[in-house]
Amino acid sequence: MYLRETKRRNRDGSVVSYLALAHNERDPESGTPRARILYNFGRADRVDRAALERLVDSIGRFLGHESASEQADAGSGELPPVVDSRAMGASWVADQLWQRLGISTAIGEAVAGGRVDAELVERVVFAMVANRLSGEPLSKRAGTRWVAERVFIPGLEAMSEDDCYRAMDRFLEVIGEVQRRVFFSVANLLNLQVDLVFFDSTSTYWETDTADQPDPREELDPREDERATDGDEAGEAVEAAVRTWGRSKDHRPDLPQVVIGMAVTREGIPVRVWTFPGDASDQTLLRTVKDDLRDWQLGRVVWVLDRGFTSEQNRRYLQRAGGGYIMGEKLRGASSEAAAALSRQGRYRTVAGNLRVKEVRVDDGAARDRFIVCHNPEAAERDAAVRAAIVARLEAAIEGSDQLPAAERAELAGALRTKPGYNRFLRTTPKGYLRVDRAAVRRDAHYDGKYLLRTSDESLSAGDIAEGYKALYEAERGWRDLKTGIDLRPVFHHKPQRIQAHVQLCWLALLLMRVAEHATSDTWRNLRHELDRLHLVTMATREGHLAQRSELTPGQRDILAALELPTPPRVLDVAATK
């Protein structure tokens, strides 16, 4: 086998050479050797020399020889200088998942048309999502340098700050369609179970002294006329990103905020994220969330929510169109139904590990609910130990208070009642003396290790309901990862549409993170730590710049295998010297 060059003379007298990969074979009849063409490279003056060099290098590696560029540099006594090196492992894996889950196609097709470059918008959106996954999320301005100098983003060598803002604005315009297409693509690919949808909300704040003035156009809900006939007096929330004061779940009531809602599947895959004004309550925003997912026609969905959503109006609203719910119920709340459920006698049965449940029916009405009393013996022991410690500290705090003047005793009582743990077990006698409320201690012991669930679903067993509610932890874990791993805050935006777009970018980052964790049974932090060891190194050879990845480690190969992703090509770019 050899490289064959043939020449042909043109009419004008010029000579043209052609290259081909040939192999000599002996003719069985004449016995003379004849050349058999295996591959035509075309005209010699137009041949892709870089492709030939790669072919030579690949053959040399198989034979254990040095590459052509290495031999040339070795002959000069110098190693090829490295002109650039940047991380590529985490961004490569994220981009492969981005393509497989159909996010790239969904964004590209949704933003196509008009005067925007759909491919650029999609790549810039991915770059901002990849930065959220990098472990060091940056502002848009700093992110431009991150793309240009520190990381390899497939298909994007550089971007400007204006590119980021234009991409965010265009992305938000089509976010509804993107969310729907991405969800069904992910659900089909991962075979997700969407019979249970877990919903929770949180808030995030801004370091600013003033709140936003709401846009008059956002004060009206386009579905208001449709809902006006519902006969429900509860307020409706409109999705918007208006920063205002509200009940802060980050314990920063001094700063304006927005409220964010998130729905996840039982596997922890985030279905969708919503952004609401900072003073929107959990009870009102739930209406918009249910209606939005109803438009996706998911079929029968059972909502799993914590105790903050347990109003009667919410429960009945969730039951519309055949829906259902599983809700936590406050043990020490004012609900007479909950008190009746806890007072009913019955025998517990073990359903999983040390979790015991018993089912209680409180009424026989048409809209009756099932109550599931759950009990964990280990948690009961912890609750008893915590209560004993609180009572002991309370006794020590009030010891000798009988000798204090009445005014000082009242001041001590006021200070102790500011602490919820002490306030539960502190009582004041008619004469103003401070005592431990032993009756309250006995009542509290009745709740040790218990939590109460309320459901409208008749098809799920008590054990399935208890296990399903425990999976609400996935939504809470999503908030923790959004705020710490992906760094939802601080947010460097002030316009409402940019705030909404920022939250949606964080949602896509969480989606990629959860898919990777689900497939590898490992945390994204560990995966990123291993993948960041994979670098793209650019060397300056005599033939031009050669961009080559580092060798894969066993850990990186395991990650790619678990995710069923291809191995990154060894050589990603060859730029001939001009």
Give the pair of three-digit tokens for residue 421. Answer: 């743990």
pLDDT digits (tens, 9 = 90+) for 131-184: 999 988 888 889 999 999 999 998 898 999 999 999 999 998 888 888 888 888
Mean per-residue pLDDT, 444-460: 86
Element at 382 (helix H, strand E) = helix 377-398
Torsion of CA 364, 367, 368, 374, to 10 degrees: 170
Q: Which of 125-129, 294-298, 359-363, 538-542 has the highest mean pLDDT?
A: 125-129
Residue-averaged pLDDT of the chain = 80
pLDDT digits (tens, 9 = 90+) for 354-408: 888 888 877 655 456 788 888 889 989 999 999 999 999 999 999 999 999 999 9
The pLDDT confidence band at residue 558, using thresholds 50, 70 and 90, is very high
The reported pLDDT for the residue numbered 485 is 79
Strands (E), 195-330: 196-205, 257-264, 270-277, 302-305, 324-329
Q: Does 317 have pLDDT greater than 90?
A: no
Q: Does 130 have pLDDT greater than 60?
A: yes
The reported pLDDT for the residue numbered 45 is 79
Q: How big is the chain by its Cα radius of gyration, in Å?
A: 33
Mean per-residue pLDDT, 419-423: 90
Q: Does 321 have pLDDT greater than 60?
A: no
Pair 23, 35: CB distance under 8 Å: yes
218: how many CB neighbours lie within 10 A of its CB?
A: 14
pLDDT digits (tens, 9 = 90+) for 47-79: 877 777 777 777 777 766 555 455 544 444 567
pLDDT digits (tens, 9 = 90+) for 186-222: 777 766 666 677 788 887 776 666 666 655 444 434 3
pLDDT digits (tens, 9 = 90+) for 477-519: 887 888 887 877 766 677 778 888 888 999 999 999 999 998 9
d(CA 163, CA 146): 14
Q: Give burial (CB, 10 Å; 0-12/13-18/19+) of 108.
A: middle
pLDDT digits (tens, 9 = 90+) for 75-103: 445 677 888 899 999 999 999 999 988 89
Phi, psi of 257 (to 5 degrees): -150, 170
The pLDDT confidence band at residue 336, using thresholds 50, 70 and 90, is confident
